[in-house]
Amino acid sequence: MNARLFPPTRAEATARLAAFLPHAGKTYAKLRNHDPGPDAPSHVSRLSPYVRHRVLTEAELVRAAVDRHGEGPAEKFIQEVFWRTYWKGWLELRPGVWDAYCEDRDTARIEVAGDSYLAEHLARAEEARTGIDCFDHWVRELVETGYLHNHARMWFASIWIFTLKLPWELGADFFLRHLLDGDPASNTLSWRWVGGLQTRGKTYLARADNIAAHTGERFNPQGKLAQEALPLDGPLPPLPRPIVPGPRLGKDGGRTGLLVFDDDVDVQDLSDRVAPVAVAGVSSAALRSDVSVSGQVQDFVAAVLDDSLSRFSVPGARLRDQVMTPHGVDEAVRDWARDHALDRVVARHVPVGPGRAVADRIARALQPDGVAFLQEMRGYDARAWPLATKGFFPFRKQIRELTAALGASG
Ligand SMILES: Cc1cc2nc3c(=O)[nH]c(=O)nc-3n(C[C@H](O)[C@H](O)[C@H](O)COP(=O)(O)OP(=O)(O)OC[C@H]3O[C@@H](n4cnc5c(N)ncnc54)[C@H](O)[C@@H]3O)c2cc1C
């Protein structure tokens, strides 16, 4: 695990937020697109591995930025945080886009395996042997640190799709295997956006002069990059389906077990309301890809869950039974529920992605014992996600109202 750059604790995340806050105003708006490299002080927060798993919530980031700078000067930072919320809502409204991505990724993997030219080029890309210095550097940086600057991710994805002409799904998968913040929504939809599938027909072309200008001239891939970016072809996304947040849970459901999924490890308020007698963590990190997810990612997620479980208190409960991994999780949760004679198991709403598949398996495993599996959606998600029906521009118009609505439970 990359404990040096991203120690997997809430203590580190809050310290990092506090240190970054003075820069979250006008400086961020001006410099956030510059990537000085992993060894130089950053102009961005590098908080995404924490926000991805809700070690820190979006609400905490927004509130802190507003308190420090006021809404005007913090506008850009707040907007970027809401990009994450927007992507999450967009995918939640259209789960079929994640399923289609997984299917197309598997198909692409089979096609590449049967085509020696493509297979060699994919290997060169993943092993930092393309001869395009900046790209090869980003591959190494990603694999070593588990993180890339947003602009580097955009250049990377554009070069992967339009210069190297590799299937976008395998690039998205490479990210998900190595990013500590690997997220089904932000990642899949950003790759689709670069390729022209998300905002139909609008692609992102990486340009050598733009890379040189924003990397402090560390790189200048003149003459090495594609000069045009023709949009990829793909089916239109399905129409948004309704999001049904469900009721708030209370103490009245009998003996309760609380499952903490890696999508949202911040569960103290839920725990206070449902008074669990047992608590356990579930990591679905190993399922972010159909092939092996990096040990660094899996260790980070397990440690973040561990930190969460050891941090919050449940009077009388046997805390931190274990952090379960997807292999055999159905039986493990069923046995855990039997051991504690549970009447119900509760969790935060598990969003679209590998965690959702695990949650569905758990629900099925508990059913024969008559143990209910209930998920509760956060107020923040229930308010914001249904607004992601169209593009980011109409969503952005609601940010002021969403910010004003941030309550203590955000
Ligand atoms: C091709 C591609 C793939 C990406 N894959 C992921 C991914 O798997 N997981 C992930 O969390 N982000 C992903 N992003 C979005 C973005 O690059 C990262 O969230 C950002 O780099 C995080 O760095 P930071 O915390 O320093 O951001 P800051 O600039 O400090 O922003 C603060 C917070 O706002 C959110 N945020 C900022 N920019 C974006 C953005 N463009 N989209 C969504 N949220 C944003 C993040 O939660 C971030 O922690 C991807 C972007 C691209 C172009």
* CA geometry: angle 95, 101, 104, nearest 5 deg: 140
The residue count for the chain: 410
Render pLDDT for 293-340 as a digit per residue (tens, 0 to 9).
999 999 999 999 989 988 766 655 544 455 666 678 889 999 999 999
CA of 384 to the centre of ligand 1 (A): 18
Three-state SS string over 359-395 comes to HHHHHHHHHHHCCEEEEECCHHHHHHHHHCCCCHHHH
- Which protein residue's CA is at the shortest distance from atom 22 of ligand 1? 48
CB 87 near ligand 1, within 6 Å: yes
Distance between Cα 266 and ligand 1 center (Å): 20
pLDDT at 157 over 90: yes
Q: Which of 195-199, 207-211, 279-283, 388-392 bottoms out in mean pLDDT, i.e. has the lowest?
A: 279-283
Class of domain 256-376: alpha beta
Among 163, 153, 158, 155, residue whose Cα is nearest residue 187:
153
Tell me how far the alpha carbon of residue 335 lies from the centroid of ligand 1, in angstroms.
38
The owner of tokens 């919320």 is: 85
Instruction: Convert the pLDDT of each residue in 134-146 to its tens digit.
Output: 999 999 999 999 9
Q: What are the phi and psi torsion angles at 403 (to 5°)? A: -65, -45
Give residue 369 CA to ligand 1 midpoint distance, Å: 41
Cβ of 83 less than 6 Å from ligand 1: yes
> Which residues 6+ apart lie within 8 Å of 213 measured at CB?
none
- Alpha carbons 1 and 10: distance in angstroms, whole number: 16
Mean pLDDT of the region 280-284: 92
Please identify which residue in the block is written with the tokens 């469900």. Answer: 246
Q: Can you tell me which atom of ligand 1 is nearest the CA of 28?
A: 29
CA 48 to mean position of chain CA atoms: 8
Q: Using one digit for the tens of pLDDT, what is the confidence trace for 164-187? A: 999 999 999 999 999 999 999 999
Instruction: Compute, in angstroms, the gap from residue 122 CA to the centroid of ligand 1.
Output: 25
CA angle 307, 310, 313 (to 5 degrees): 130
**Domain chopping of the chain, boundaries:** 10-92+385-404, 115-214, 256-376
- Which carries the bigger pLDDT value, residue 319 or residue 246? 246
In sequence order, the 6+-apart residues with CB closer than 8 A to the CB of 275 are 251, 256, 314
Instruction: Give the separation between CA 123 and CA 309, rounded to whole angstroms.
Output: 39
- Atom of ligand 1 at shortest distance to CA of 32? 29
pLDDT score recorded for residue 309: 86
Best substitution site from 32, 181, 197 to test ligand 1's pocket, by max atoms within 8 Å of Cβ?
A: 181
How far is it, in rounded angstroms, from Cα 184 to Cα 166?
20
Write out the H or E segment, with its range, that includes residue 257.
strand 256-261
* CA–CA dist 165, 159 (Å, integer): 8
Packed helices 75-93 and 184-195: angle between N→C axes, nearest 10 degrees: 90
In angstroms, what is the span from residue 93 Cα to ligand 1's centroid?
20
Give the C-alpha separation, 379 to 275, whole Å.
19
Residue nearest to atom 17 of ligand 1 (CA): 150
What is the reported pLDDT for 313?
65
- How far, in Å, CA of 201 to CA of 389, rounded? 19
What pLDDT shows up at residue 320?
A: 47
As a whole number of angstroms, the longest Cα–Cα distance in the chain is 67
- Residue 176's pLDDT is 98
**Banded model confidence at residue 359, pLDDT cuts 50, 70, 90:** very high
To test the pocket of ligand 1, the residue of 43, 150, 160, 264 to mutate (highest count of ligand atoms within 8 Å of its CB) is: 150
CA 340 – ligand 1 centroid, Å: 40
Which residues are CB-contacts of 167 (< 8 A; sequence separation ≥ 6)? 104, 108, 111, 112
For residue 392, count CB atoms less than 10 angstroms from its CB and return exposed for 0-12, middle for 13-18, buried for 19 or more: middle
CA nearest 197: which of 172, 175, 163?
Answer: 172
Residue nearest to ligand 1 atom 44, measured at CA: 84
Strand partners of residue 324 = 282
For 273-295, b/e burial (b = at least 16 CB within 10 A) is: bbbbbbbbbbbbbbbbbeeebbe
Fold of the CATH domain 10-92+385-404: 1.25.40
85 lines ligand 1 (CB under 6 A): no
Q: How far apart are alpha carbons 343 and 345 in whole angstroms? A: 7
263 Cβ partners below 8 Å, 6+ apart? 53, 54, 284, 348, 350, 351, 353, 355
Among 1.10.579.10, 3.30.1490.20, 3.30.465.10, 1.10.940.10, name the CATH number for the domain at 115-214.
1.10.579.10
Q: Is the dihedral of CA 199, 203, 206, 207 positive or negative?
A: negative
- pLDDT at residue 409 is higher than 80: no
**Which has the minimum average pLDDT: 185-189, 244-248, 377-381, 394-398?**
244-248
DSSP assignment, residue 91? H
Smallest Cα–Cα separation from 47: which of 5, 85, 87, 83? 5
Instruction: Point out the ligand 1 atom lying closest to the alpha carbon of residue 44.
Output: 30
Is any ligand 1 atom within 6 A of the Cβ of residue 158?
A: no
